Amino acid sequence: MKLTFRWYGEKDCIPLNYIRQIPNMSGVVTAVYDVPVGEVWPLERLIKLKELANSYGLEMEVIESIPVHEDIKLGKDNRDQLIANYCENVRRVAKVGVKCVCYNFMPVFDWLRTEMHHQNKDGSNSLSYSYEDFQKVDPNNLHLPGWDESYTPDELQNLLKEYQNISHEDLFNNLVYFLKKVIPVCDEVNVKMAIHPDDPPWDIFGLPRIVSNEADLDKMFHAVPSINNGLTLCTGSFGAGRNNNLSHMAEKYTKQGRVHFVHLRNVLWTDNHDSFCEVGHCSKAGSLDMAKIVKALVDNGFDGYVRPDHGRNIFGEDGKPGYGLYDRALGAAYINGLFEMAEKNK
Ligand code: DNO
């Protein structure tokens, strides 16, 4: 495996010099953040990011994310131009040595939580999702903590309205339409597409979500069989869904060669509904058996990219939600241990 670390570019308050000091760190996972979704990324920007990473001895082989424009998800008339731009971005990232692109196909919202600073007993805080609090959220008056407010309230309402006519099947067909144009480009330039699961893995606000479980993945891989049509196995996202068996999924999709990227983090299920809290990475802290998941990856020949996902705020840090330095660095050290052990006992 190649251990990587998410880095939000030059604006990230965590310097590359710190990232490189994390044991076994091979590279950063990053993106061009300030070009509007749907437009083409200037090649110079990619070259600059890569050179910066390289100057600290870090690679830049994974992009997270090249975001997918909502009009592609909605299947609107202008999607062909937007998909052509997406393909151009794939070609450009390939030019600077990128091997893997993480993206998602969630309508409107990416990850969703009800609390950004859930206080834990040990004095740390982390992201959490409460079923009860979520019931109180009025979709017509959304003030979601941490949500990238890229839309005005009116724009958001219009967008939500547009999705009213989109069924799961429609969204799936729009994903397949997109992949049938993008994957051939990936095949040509050797880039692996790694779809990120829905987080949490169920419909929210009546919006369809189609990458929540094994059946969804099987359907998607069946529709577009190229091996470059793969997965980001995000243990925390899938793991919030209590019917998802993570070690089984790790085994099955690694055997198929479809696990290109792994996000490792643990979640603690906190009630009898859907609620969960993000916790430290180790198995004992939460509801997932992290050692079993890593063993399933290693035993089945996984050799892709891994990154420690969301950490808590610890040691007094007030980091970007989920993306502070300290707990992710501890997570990285733990991940190194799990992989070393699994590899030696293979
Ligand atoms: C959250 C991340 C997601 C992820 C996107 C990929 O912390 O895992 O925002 O980057 O869903 O497109």
143 flagged as catalytic:
no
Q: Does residue 261's CB lie within 6 angstroms of at least one atom of ligand 1?
A: no
Compute CA distances 104 → 100, 101, 220, whole Å.
13, 10, 13
Q: How far is the CA of 174 from the centre of ligand 1 (A)?
A: 20
As a whole number of angstroms, the distance between CA 259 and CA 46 comes to 25
How much is the pTM? Answer: 0.97
Low-confidence ranges of the chain (pLDDT < 70): 140, 142-149
234 flagged as catalytic:
yes
With beta carbons less than 8 A apart as the criterion, state whether 29 and 14 touch.
no
Catalytic residue among 163, 253, 305, 323: 323
Among candidates 120, 112, 115, which has minimal Cα distance to 286? 120
Compute CA distances 116 → 149, 181, 266, 273, 312, whole Å.
15, 37, 16, 19, 10
Q: Give me the pLDDT at residue 148, please.
A: 59
Catalytic residue among 186, 281, 310, 334: 310
Q: Does residue 110's CB lie within 6 angstroms of at least one atom of ligand 1?
A: yes
Q: Give me the pLDDT at residue 144, please.
A: 65
Q: How far is the CA of 168 from the centre of ligand 1 (A)?
A: 21
Q: Give me the pLDDT at residue 149, please.
A: 64
Distance of CA 166 to the CA centre of its chain: 23
Q: Does residue 37's CB lie within 6 angstroms of at least one atom of ligand 1?
A: no
Token representation of residue 222: 């069946």
Q: Does residue 41's CB lie within 6 angstroms of at least one atom of ligand 1?
A: no
Q: How far is the CA of 346 from the centre of ligand 1 (A)?
A: 31
Ligand 1 site-directed mutation target among 30, 70, 72, 111, most atoms within 8 Å of CB: 111
As a whole number of angstroms, the distance between CA 212 and CA 35 comes to 28
Q: Does residue 102's CB lie within 6 angstroms of at least one atom of ligand 1?
A: yes
Domain 2-344, CATH among 3.20.20.150, 1.20.1250.20, 3.40.50.1000, 3.50.50.60: 3.20.20.150
| Cα R_g (the chain), whole angstroms | 19
As a whole number of angstroms, the distance between CA 114 and CA 205 comes to 13
Q: How far is the CA of 18 from the centre of ligand 1 (A)?
A: 22
Amino acid present at 7? W
